[in-house]
């Protein structure tokens, strides 16, 4: 039985909400959920924002290969040549991450490898300024990042296309109205200024 838990001043859970054997407890909880949901301001995830296996497969095929293995020992080649089922599983995993609003902590982990800046340098190669660091992050997190980037780009392109369509229709309506007005003026001899 939940008693007196306060999450915020407007959303209190009282004794009697759950588990008192009350026949209407489920109805009260449903009403409370609907009331709380009405004030929710998060991002709505619809089907158009979901990652599918085809998107994941295309991203995997286009990611640069020949890179070092990540902390888990997984390379991009492993993802490329693995079973087709992996893309499906990864798409479901990425959708779960998006709907939960949570990315695994390991997605932010990487290791840094020092690379010599100038291979032909005659200077001492033991000075730290002669090296630059590159970060090797998880291959799966790279796929997730690219999928999200493409999803955002497609979403923006869709909105631009809709805006252009609306703009084109407005121009065509405006032009057809202008043509009608010009024809009207030529028929009646009245010129529009």
Q: Are residues 26 and 121 in the same domain?
A: no
pLDDT, position 126:
64
Does residue 70 contact residue 138 with C-beta atoms inside 8 Å?
A: yes
Predicted confidence band at 90 (pLDDT cuts at 50, 70, 90)? very high
54 and 104 both lie in a single domain: yes
Q: Is the pLDDT of residue 89 over 90?
A: yes
Do 74 and 21 lie in a common domain? no
The reply to whether 95 falls in a domain is yes
| 119 shares a domain with 96 | yes
Q: What's the structural domain count of the chain?
A: 2
SS3 of 94, please? helix
Considering only residues 187 and 149, tell me which one the structure prediction assigns the higher pLDDT. 149
Rounded to a whole number, what is the largest CA-CA distance in the chain?
91
Asked if residue 55 lies in contact with residue 147, where contact means CB atoms within 8 angstroms, the answer is: yes
How distant, in Å, are the alpha carbons of 49, 83, 84, 159 from that of 79?
23, 8, 10, 32
Mean pLDDT confidence for 154-170: 85
Q: Of 67-76, 110-119, 145-154, where does mean pLDDT reach its minimum?
A: 110-119
What is the model's pLDDT at position 48?
Answer: 60
Mean pLDDT in residue range 109-113:
86
Is residue 56 in some structural domain? Answer: yes
Q: Does the predicted TM-score (pTM) go above 0.75?
A: no
In terms of domains, do 62 and 18 share one?
no
Please give the Cα distance from 59 to 146 (Å, whole number).
Answer: 7
Beta strands in the chain (DSSP E): 5-8, 11-13, 110-116, 131-137
Task: Return the higher-pLDDT residue of 158 and 20.
Answer: 158
Report the pLDDT averaged over residues 24-44.
Answer: 77
Q: Is the dihedral of CA 170, 171, 174, 177 positive or negative?
A: negative
Closest by CA to 135, choosing from 105, 110, 117, 115, is 110
What are the tokens at 91?
A: 């798409």
The answer to whether residues 20 and 84 belong to one domain is no
- SS3 category, 98: helix
Residues 11 and 103 in one domain: no
SS3 at position 112: strand
Instruction: Reply yes or no on whether the pLDDT at 2 is more than 60.
Output: no
Is 184 a member of any domain? no
* Contact status, residue 70 vs residue 139, Cβ threshold 8 Å: yes
**In a 10 Å sphere around its CB, with 0-12 CB exposed, 13-18 middle and 19+ buried, how is residue 174 labelled?**
exposed
In a domain, 33, yes or no: yes
One domain for residues 32 and 105 = no
Q: Tell whether the model's pLDDT for residue 184 goes beyond 90.
A: no
Q: Is residue 91 situated within a structural domain?
A: yes
């Amino acid at each position: 039985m939940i008693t007196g838990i306060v999450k915020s001043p407007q959303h209190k859970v009282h004794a009697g909400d759950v588990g008192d054997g009350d026949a209407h407890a489920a109805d009260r909880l449903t009403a409370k959920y609907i009331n709380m949901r009405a004030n929710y301001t998060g991002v709505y995830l619809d089907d158009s924002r979901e990652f599918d296996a085809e998107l994941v497969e295309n991203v995997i095929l286009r990611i640069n290969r020949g890179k070092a293995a990540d902390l888990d020992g997984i390379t991009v080649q492993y993802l490329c040549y693995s079973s087709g089922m992996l893309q499906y599983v990864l798409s479901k995993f990425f959708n779960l991450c998006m709907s939960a609003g949570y990315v695994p902590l390991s997605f932010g982990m990487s290791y840094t490898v020092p690379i010599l800046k100038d291979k032909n340098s005659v200077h001492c190669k033991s000075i730290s300024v002669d090296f630059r660091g590159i970060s090797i992050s998880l291959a799966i997190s790279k796929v997730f990042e690219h999928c999200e980037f493409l999803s955002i780009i497609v979403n923006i392109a869709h909105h631009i296309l809709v805006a252009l369509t609306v703009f084109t229709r407005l121009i065509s309506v405006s032009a057809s109205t202008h043509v009608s007005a010009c024809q009207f003026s030529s028929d009646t001899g009245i010129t529009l200024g």
